Amino acid sequence: MSQPTSQTMGQQFGRRSWAEPWKIKMVEPLTVTTRAEREKCLAEAGYNTFLLHSDDVYIDLLTDSGTSAMSDRQWAGMMLGDEAYAGSRNFYNLEAAIQETYGYQHILPTHQGRGAEHLISRTVIKPGQLVPGNMYFTTTRLHQELAGGVFHDVIIDEAHDPTSLHPFKGNIDLDKLQALIDAHGAAQIAYVSVAGTVNMAGGQPVSMANIKALRALCDRHGIKVYLDATRMMENCWFIQQREEGHADRSVAQILREFCSYTDAAWMSAKKDNLVNIGGWLAVNDWALFEELRNLVVVYEGLHTYGGLAGRDMEAMAIGIRESVRDDHLRSRIGQVLYLGELLTDWRIPIVQPIGGHAIFLDARAFYPHLQQTDFPAQTLAAELYLDSGIRAMERGIASAGRDPRTGDHYYPKLELARLTIPRRVYTQAHMDVIAESVKAVWDGRESVRGLKMVYEPKYLRFFQARFERL
């Protein structure tokens, strides 16, 4: 099933387009501001889009996390919340939805993804152990480091090149992993941390062949494979579209197979699972589960609610079943592709191939005259907001933070501004408006100066850092 492109759309007579498999029942008005108002808001926010008030934002592409529109079924499910402290029926519905959809045996709810990351990291990482992963994610790596682990990037080199057209840029480089095992010994590896549609690489998927080969390699050394399932549905859509032998399978079937090669998973349900809050941990090993189930009581809440209301768990159970449907994923990723292809047609530098949840603008290519320490991606997100009130997010040196061993910045190869598309929220007309604003910022790129950081918090600095214009 090939996606229409912006080139083919409208040109082919007799075309058959896809459309969203839903219609809109309730709307939320948007605010439009003037450039002068935005100048003021941005300066007050220290040139950090995280610090803007959302009332001052027109189209909000900060994140796809917790920003999905829920369906009428999910809202109806909210009314069925069983708010008992223990043993809520909504927990059992959620447990069944995860078991049936992902195939793991033992389930714990958590308040969101990082709650699950915290529990698994502190349970399985011994201080000094290495945690190889397919590129870092901010909260994931921090929890691994706080537990005493040392993260090692083992993603394929193509992932660091925004122009490489490799169809599975999320893949683990098995040679890099083997070299790490050879150098340190398998006992020094806590587990391999695999994420679907790798966020920091531009939403790039992992292939079925790669996870299968990883499983075989890890089995030879007795190493566990843990999955960040946050955007796995989207990953599986790419497998169906791009990987030989999967075109006739449903995303649901592909997902079950993929997860079967892993030992456990954590989830930020605020993404793929179509809810505004929630997460979970899922493991197959009973002894590990017992430890985690005990720890969840300390940090999240009882093991049948994990920091969530019953109604949240019900919405999640329903969301899981909606989110694995092929028609949902076709329109979700189709919308991201539509925006990405408009920008590609206009020769605006974005990470290729277009990923699952966002368009990533290549800030180095926008601003070759800036040093990385001038925060080019932070600058680009600021410029976009100034142009149109569209809110993007920095995914570059500010997000990468500092190396705890040296205290220096991490200098990621990718310096990106992320236009993250919330699920089921905006229309194709919004995508046109976004593309036109990016074009205006691209056209004005030469006169742009960078930023300097004037306030830097210790943890996950990008959320709260403040900047000034150079």
Residue among 141 and 249 whose Cβ is closer to ligand F0G: 141
Cα 108 to Cα 300: distance, rounded to the nearest angstrom: 10
Nearest approach, Cβ of residue 267 and ligand F0G (Å): 8
DSSP state of 450: -
Instruction: Check: CB of residue 236 under 8 Å from CB of residue 284.
Output: no
Residue among 158 and 234 whose Cβ is closer to ligand F0G: 234
> Does the bond joining 353 to the residue before it have cis omega, within 30 degrees of 0?
yes
Q: How many helices (H) and strands (E) does the chain have?
A: 16, 12
User: Contacts by 174-179 with C-beta closer than 8 Å and gap 24+?
Assistant: 174/210, 174/213, 174/214, 174/217, 176/132, 177/132, 177/214, 177/217, 178/217
Residue among 240 and 268 whose Cβ is closer to ligand F0G: 268
Termini Cα distance of the chain: 48
Nearest approach, Cβ of residue 444 and ligand F0G (Å): 27
Residue among 270 and 430 whose Cβ is closer to ligand F0G: 270
Nearest approach, Cβ of residue 5 and ligand F0G (Å): 26
Active site (catalytic) residues: 85, 137-138, 228, 271, 395, 462
Cα 203 to Cα 366: distance, rounded to the nearest angstrom: 20
Nearest approach, Cβ of residue 222 and ligand F0G (Å): 26
* Residue in this structure with the two tokens 């990106």, named with its chain if needed: 416
CA 375, 377, 379, 385: dihedral to nearest 10 degrees? Answer: -160
Phi then psi for residue 401, to 5 deg, are: 70, -155
Nearest approach, Cβ of residue 312 and ligand F0G (Å): 13
* Region at 278 (left for phi over 0; alpha for psi -120 to 50; beta for the rest): left
DSSP state of 87: S
Residue among 398 and 448 whose Cβ is closer to ligand F0G: 398
Binding-site ranges for ligand F0G (CB under 6 A): 63, 65, 112-114, 137, 139-140, 195, 199, 228, 230, 268, 270, 279
